[in-house]
Amino acid sequence: METEMLSLFKDLSVFDPDVIPDQLLFREKEIEELVRLFAPLQFGFNPASNAVIYGQPSVGKTSVARKILKIFQEEAASKVATCYVNLAVKRTSAEVAAEIYFQVTKHLSRRRVSKCLDATFKTLKNNEQNLLIVFDDFNAFSGGDINTLLQTLLRPAESRFQGVHVRVVLVSSGDDYFLKNRVRSSFEPVEFEFKDYNEDQKFEILKKRCIQGFSRFVILDKLIREVAERATDLRHALAILYYVGGIVNKKITKKDIDTAFNMVKGTPRKNESHLSELETFLFSKIKESTTAISTGELHRYYKKEKGDITIQGIGKSLKKLKMLGIVDYRFVSGRGRTRVWFKT
């Protein structure tokens, strides 16, 4: 069976949503504009702006951001150092600073944030390099105020390491993002809102993946289109195609597609309608917060502004918001493990 499965695929990696294809269909314009925006870095100049990429999940935000880094790595590595940090993974300012230092210097560091960044900027100055950073999932950052992190990162480079220029791309998993006015004025972001792909675009993207990933004549176009229409998003569609390729010996049928959808569930489509008063209140607080917010904090907000309620009632409503796919949580260290919530 394993041999038959491998023979059905030409390239398994094509169906991995985290693998960046050579061509990102329907995002060529955004890639061109972002490369042009940051091109001055490779000539020793400071670009006029930073960038924010925002939109719903599975619309190519992270892929485009990483594609930009790849282009600079391939075409201007001697002049532009690049760094990718997922702020849902690196949860504190210290972890972020250490990760930037590691990607620039290839060395580990346990120094405090300011010392770590100073060492990073010193390395850049010695190498006559500028720095381009992508902060992915920046609205999920739970290690403090993202605005403070940006100020800490950008200001020392400009004031104390003359000639070292740092530019940042923020990637937000949501339909909006928030920066405080004092940060926005200095950050000067160019905004790139990524709209969802339409059905024809999803079909074209999946068809190209199928051509690259499957052997010839394995799947019909009408079945690819059905996957595009039924999947909750592109990530789900790729998971369906990967699964169905693993259960079929020769040619994919409608029955195989149905089986895959029964087995591989996607994230529910985001739906903010039909929320109760309590759910609407909780979602608005999470949405407005610049950092991830704990269940206890939400409980205190509601008691102060609305009236008495048990923390169990808060937890039940938060669970529904998570099931709708409009919020999520992660655990942070403190006095034990604290669950903090953020808008997806």
Q: How confident is the model at residue 332 (pLDDT cuts 50, 70, 90)?
A: confident
| pLDDT, average across residues 284-312 | 88
The pLDDT score that the predictor gives to residue 4 is 46
Contact between 204 and 221 (Cβ < 8 Å): no
Q: What share of the chain in percent tops pLDDT 90? A: 46
Predicted confidence at residue 272, as pLDDT, reads: 54
pLDDT tens for 250-287 read: 899 999 999 999 988 876 555 554 567 888 889 889 98
pLDDT (mean) for 243-254: 88
Determine the pLDDT at residue 151. Answer: 77
| pLDDT for 158 | 58
Domains along the sequence of the chain with CATH: 2-17+197-263 (1.10.8.60), 28-194 (3.40.50.300), 277-343 (1.10.10.10)
Provide the mean pLDDT of the chain: 86
Helices (H), the chain: 2-8, 28-38, 61-76, 93-105, 113-127, 146-160, 181-187, 199-213, 221-230, 234-247, 254-263, 277-288, 295-305, 311-323
At 265, phi and psi to the nearest 5? Answer: -95, 140
Q: For 137-186, what is each residue's pLDDT tens digit?
A: 887 776 666 677 787 777 655 567 888 999 999 998 765 566 666 667 77
pLDDT at residue 220 tops 50 = yes
59 contacts 197 by C-beta, under 8 angstroms: yes
**C-alpha separations of 289 from 141, 172, 326 in Å:** 11, 14, 14
